[in-house]
Amino acid sequence: MKKYRRVFQGNPDFNKSAFLNWRIEKNDRIGNLISIGQGFIRSSKYTLELCVQDNSNKIADELIFPILTNLNHGIELYLKALIWTLNFIKSNDKNFPKTHNLYDLMVQSLELIHDVDGDGAGGHFVNSAIVLLDYINEINETIKTDSKSDNTDFSRYPFSRKLEDHFYVSTKDNVEIDIINLLEIINEIEQVLDDRVNYFYYHRLLETD
């Protein structure tokens, strides 16, 4: 029997080791959220790019679940980092968002940007994040979720917490995703979140401390 080799150790080849804490700082919780959120979105994008390059074996049918899970969780972390940053700017640092609902997080973000910078900044964020808003709205319409019935785990489990089948299980029709379109959307979402969150955190919060 082959001996088990530990995972949590470095590989002799430096480039074949992943460092958990090279992009993580001990006293930088918001920055850590941003770093991990970026990782989730990029893992989603890079995996989807492989499917776009060659899906002759229909591997996308399997990988689409972690692709969506990582994308949505990355969006969640970015929005929570943004909300926490804006709360710090308002000297209200205790308010860390607990919800996983992307729509609720987006609404909170817009309200706080308006409070911090007025209508102009809020309008700019809406205009630059229109694809993100459309994506979140499409998810909510598709999975039929709201604040009382949160089905955002649809890509992690085939059924809800109440053991009810998710929409793609309960239907007899094909449920398809355009992976080319999704890749374009991921690229736009990554760009706007990276731009706006980094602006408020690194340029507005840290530079004024």
Single pTM value for the model: 0.92
pLDDT, tens digit (0-9, with 9 covering 90-100), for 108-117: 999 999 888 8
Structural contact between residues 126 and 192, judged by C-beta atoms closer than 8 angstroms: no
Burial of 35 (0-12, 13-18, 19+ CB in 10 A): middle
User: CA angle, 156 as apex, 185 and 79 as ends, to 5°?
Assistant: 50
pLDDT, tens digit (0-9, with 9 covering 90-100), for 148-206: 556 678 999 999 888 989 999 999 999 999 999 999 999 999 999 999 999 999 888 87
What are the C-alpha distances in Å from 161 to residues 14, 142, 149, 157? 42, 17, 10, 9
Separation CA 144–CA 177 (nearest Å): 17
Contacts 24+ apart (CB under 8 A), 2-9: none
